[in-house]
Amino acid sequence: MMMRRDIYLFSNGRLMRKDNTLYIVSEDGIKRAVPVEQVENVHLFGQIDLNSALFNFSGQKEVMLHFYNYYGFYTGSFYPREHSVSGIVTVKQSDHYLRKEKRLFLAKCFVQSASFHMLRTCRKRGIHGYESVQIITELSKNIRDAKDVQQTMGIEGMIRQHYYRALNELIPEEFTFAERTKRPPRDPFNALISFGNTMMYTSVLSEIYKTQLNPTISYLHEPSQKRFSLCLDLAEIFKPLLVDPLLITLVNKKKITSKHFENHDGMVYLNEMGRKIVIAAFDERLQQTIRHRKLKRNVSYWYLIRLECYKLIKHVIGDTPYIPLKAWW
């Protein structure tokens, strides 16, 4: 079976359907055909014209479309009609949100996994003895005693604050940053983090879509009408495991340098060349495999995300208690 892949469109043009094929038409009229069976997600960074026939075709073939603005910031997704609907999973998922103790358990799980992977990144990079890392270690011990989700998020916020201070020890001086700034990013490394987190978010959304989970019912982050908040919950696990080590490597190996950024009224963002480099590296990382100690076979990082979704389903339906991923390799 051919593995489906993601397509990233940076140039302006049109995306259209012809027969059973997607056609990418550039501004100069050049057409490139991509059989739809080979496509899982389409990421649109350029100004791309679409029509209802394309959306209908994408929905039928279960292809997700992710949209980004001029600066590379995520703006939304076309989420095809769910094909793995389960009323019982939705009911149970909602019940775990509505019941304080059930929601708190899952919220703590996500933060515990995130802090574990933050410490793992620091340990593997040789800064486990630094003050910020020691503070993270102590703060992590408080997660299990948190009384509610708000307190859990407060602990997570303090952990992440010290984690970003620790990251400054791992990146070149020209990329060091004083604090995490998001809307908008104020320096190059913040721009990198924001873009990397965006790619992680859409990757999680893509995997949730393949399961019976409802992406709007979340536990750590408050459900919102404007976003798929369960993606934010699960992304907490994978950002320090996948995104941050990748960004650290890119800047230290000088694959990403100052020439890959632009500044607009104090907002710093990756230019097209920079985005292409990060996307290529991120896509390559997701396809890497590790030996799964329970499945006894190699699985990709892509599949690890989906496994986390399956584990969450088993938990909410009362099958197997949820144990969040903690990388053993």
Task: Give yes or no for a contact between 84 and 62, defined as CB atoms under 8 angstroms apart.
Answer: no
- Cα–Cα–Cα angle for 127, 249, 244, nearest 5°? 70
Listed in sequence order, the DSSP H helices in 210-298 are 229-238, 244-252, 272-287
Query: Tokens 């030996």 identify what position?
Result: 291
Helix axes 100-124, 149-167, angle to 10 degrees: 10
Q: How far is Cα 3 from Cα 182, in angstroms, rounded to an integer?
A: 34
Among 64-68, 69-73, 223-227, 234-238, the range scoring the smallest mean pLDDT is 223-227
**Is the CB of residue 218 less than 8 Å from the CB of residue 96?**
no
156 a known binding residue? yes
Quick one: which of 303, 310, 309, 314 has its CA closest to 228?
A: 309
The token pair at 258 is 């100052």
Q: What pLDDT score was predicted for residue 18?
A: 82
What is residue 181's predicted lDDT score, i.e. its pLDDT?
A: 92
Residue 1's pLDDT is: 44
Whether residue 55 contacts residue 16, with contact meaning beta carbons closer than 8 Å, is answered with no
pLDDT at 86: 81
Yes or no: say if 275 and 43 are a contact pair by the CB < 8 Å rule: no
Is 221 annotated as contributing to ligand binding? yes
Mean pLDDT value across the chain: 93
3-state helix, strand, coil in the chain (%, to 5): 50, 20, 30
Please tell me the predicted confidence (pLDDT) of residue 84: 67
Residue 246 has a pLDDT of 98
Average pLDDT over residues 22-33: 87
pLDDT band per the 50, 70, 90 thresholds, residue 2? low
| pLDDT, position 129 | 79
* pLDDT at residue 290 greater than cutoff 90: yes
What fold characterizes domain 87-316?
Answer: Four Helix Bundle (Hemerythrin (Met), subunit A) (1.20.120)
pLDDT at 304 over 90: yes
Backbone phi and psi for residue 36, each to the nearest 5 degrees, phi listed first:
-65, -25
Which pLDDT value is given to residue 55?
Answer: 92
Dihedral sign of CA atoms 226, 239, 77, 81 in order? negative
Find the helix or strand (DSSP H, E) in which 205 lies: helix 188-209
Of 191, 183, 292, 196, the C-alpha closest to 244 is: 196
Query: Is 128 marked as binding a ligand?
Result: no
Q: How far is CA 215 from the centre of its chain?
A: 13
Q: Domain segments of the chain: what residues?
A: 5-78, 87-316
Instruction: Give yes or no for residue 139 having a pLDDT over 90.
Output: yes
How many angstroms separate the most distant Cα atoms in the chain? 61
pLDDT score recorded for residue 20: 79
Mean pLDDT of 159-171: 95
Q: What per-residue confidence (pLDDT) applies to 3?
A: 66
CATH architecture, range 5-78: Ribosomal Protein L15; Chain: K; domain 2 (3.100)
Predicted confidence (pLDDT) per residue in 167-219, tens digit: 999 999 999 998 999 889 999 999 999 999 999 999 999 999 999 999 999 99
**pLDDT at residue 37 in the model:** 85
Confidence at 247, pLDDT banded by 50, 70, 90:
very high
* 117 band by pLDDT with thresholds 50, 70 and 90: very high
Question: Matching CATH topology for 5-78 and 87-316?
Answer: no
Q: How far apart are CA 293 and CA 295, in angstroms?
A: 6
Lowest pLDDT segment from 29-38, 149-158, 253-262 = 29-38
Burial per residue of 17-53, b for 16 or more beta-carbon CB atoms within 10 angstroms, e otherwise: beeeebbbeeeeeeeeeeebeebbbbbbbbebebeee
